[in-house]
Amino acid sequence: MNRRDIVIGLVVLAVVVGAVYWTRSRQQASVVTSPSPAPSIEESLESRFNLQIPEDVEKADLTDVSGGDGSGIATRKLEAGLFSHTVLADLPDPTPGTFYEGWLVRGREGEANFAFISTGKLGIAKGGYLLEFSSRTDYSDYTGVVVTSEKVDDKKPETHILEGSF
């Protein structure tokens, strides 16, 4: 065996080792992928309702406080003297004889400035529930949002289902 055969053998061995190393590093890189984060409430609802929530509104995530798995998002905006408020909710159908109602809340119960106003009944919309409210009154100091299950339309909140705040 001469020197030329040894050099050729070493070069071939180096190429084979390099190819094996390169192949394995590519396989490991494709296996080691970070899991994609769970979609936010906003992303889930935008997908479910097939709509885009504007960027120029204040948003509040609504979480289920009733032990269920409902969720929602509320928006509000004051522009040109018009206060607008929207609720998108992913909720199960209400039990017969009940309905969902939206509320804006100011302060905390027991405080002197505590108040709530009904923003109306939530209606069925594209597989979920939707509420659209507008008023010439500025409700910007009402920072809490509640969705309740109601039996009686008496403008008094009953069973809290979703809650959140701006």
pLDDT digits (tens, 9 = 90+) for 79-134: 999 999 999 999 999 999 999 999 999 998 888 989 999 999 999 987 789 999 99
Give all strands (DSSP E) within the chain, no chain letters: 58-64, 71-79, 82-90, 99-106, 115-121, 123-125, 128-135, 144-150, 159-165
Query: Hey, where are the domains in the chain?
Result: 1-33, 41-165
> Is pLDDT at 36 greater than 70 in this prediction?
no
Amino acid at 162: L
Q: What is the mean pLDDT of the chain?
A: 85
CATH class for domain 41-165? mainly beta
Minimal CA–CA distance to 41: which of 76, 69, 83, 77?
Answer: 69
The answer to whether the predicted template modeling score (pTM) of the entire model surpasses 0.85 is no
What pLDDT does residue 134 have? 97
Minimal CA–CA distance to 87: which of 99, 111, 65, 71?
Answer: 71
Q: Note the Cα 164 to chain centre separation in Å.
A: 12
